[in-house]
Structure 1
Amino acid sequence: MNTLKLDHIGIAVEKIDAALPVWEGILSLPLHGIEEVADQKVKTAFMPIGESEIELLESTDSEGPIGKFLAAKGQGVHHLAFRVANIEAALAELKAKGVRLIDETPRYGAGGARIAFIHPKATGGVLVELCERA
């Protein structure tokens, strides 16, 4: 698999507006933009740092993945996202290796990225996202 870099770290928060003073104010990270991804029931805020980003994730529905995460674990790191050159090839390679996946085909995430998740049981309890950006 051609893994290019750490794309972003996803952090689940109760409210993006309440989290921004930490990330913008204390750590001086610029807000790149806020976007809602309706089919994933989430609102995201991206804050670039070097060649990577911090992604704040606010649930728009308590039954969505971030809503369930917040109910079970509270605020905190949700996932690590790695940029890949070709997400279809990466998924095919992982399937061939017998790696347990949440997504067997890519879907669209924030910023128009094509994404897929590896099941945390395959990665020692860490939710890993693969993303491909144009």
Structure 2
Amino acid sequence: MHFDHAGIATTDANDLASLYVDLLDAERVHREEFDGMLVVFLETGDGYLELLEPLDEEGAIARYLQDREGGIHHVAYATDDVEGALANARDLGVDLIDEDPRPGAWGHDVAFCHPKSTGGILVEFVEH
């Protein structure tokens, strides 16, 4: 398993993407509307930044931004076997948000571990 991306909640994904393109010499590599969000992926060389802008007031990112101005929402790790990663987490006693993989942005299968079991960090497993 290796670092894949950091998910960053923001009220304006395009504006933040423009800043990071200039500031970090990042490259925009993917943009889509998914699950009530505008999602923009930037390649940084060592992984991606996933910029998450809510398009409605009901989703997880909208709720996250109600209490914060923005910031890191989750950290994702790439795996060749998201079901195996979930089984390992279960064996370690980690509380899961997803018992089974689900569709994620960019067509990947994803699953999340609850932050109360992972040091306050929302951990995502992503299978490309």
Offset at 1:35?
0.7
Matches within 5 A, 1:51-90: 51-90=46-85
Distance in 1, matches of 2:123 and 2:58, equals 21
Distance in 2, matches of 1:24 and 1:60, equals 22
Look up the SS of the partner of 2:28 in the other structure. Answer: coil
- Output one character per residue of 1:59-84: Cα deviation in whole Å (capped at 9) or x when no partner: 11111000000111221111100011
Distance in 2, matches of 1:44 and 1:61, equals 13
Confirm or deny that 1:7 pairs with 2:4. yes
- Output one character per residue of 1:72-110: Cα deviation in whole Å (capped at 9) or x when no partner: 122111110001120111111211222101111001111
Gap runs ≥5 in structure 2? none
Distance in 1, matches of 2:31 and 2:37, equals 11
The range that moved more, 61-70 or 18-27, is 18-27
Partners of 2:17 and 2:40 within 8 A in 1: no
Equivalent position to 1:106, from 91, 101, 107: 101
RMSD: 1.1
Confirm or deny that 1:118 pairs with 2:113. yes
Gap runs ≥5 in structure 1? none
Offset at 1:21?
2.5
Equivalent position to 2:15, from 14, 18, 26: 18
The range that moved more, 107-116 or 18-27, is 18-27
Distance in 2, matches of 1:54 and 1:97, equals 28
Look up the SS of the partner of 2:121 in the other structure. Answer: coil
Instruction: Tell me the TM-score normalised to structure 2 length.
Output: 0.94
Figure out how many residues of one structure are paired with residues of the other and give that number. 128
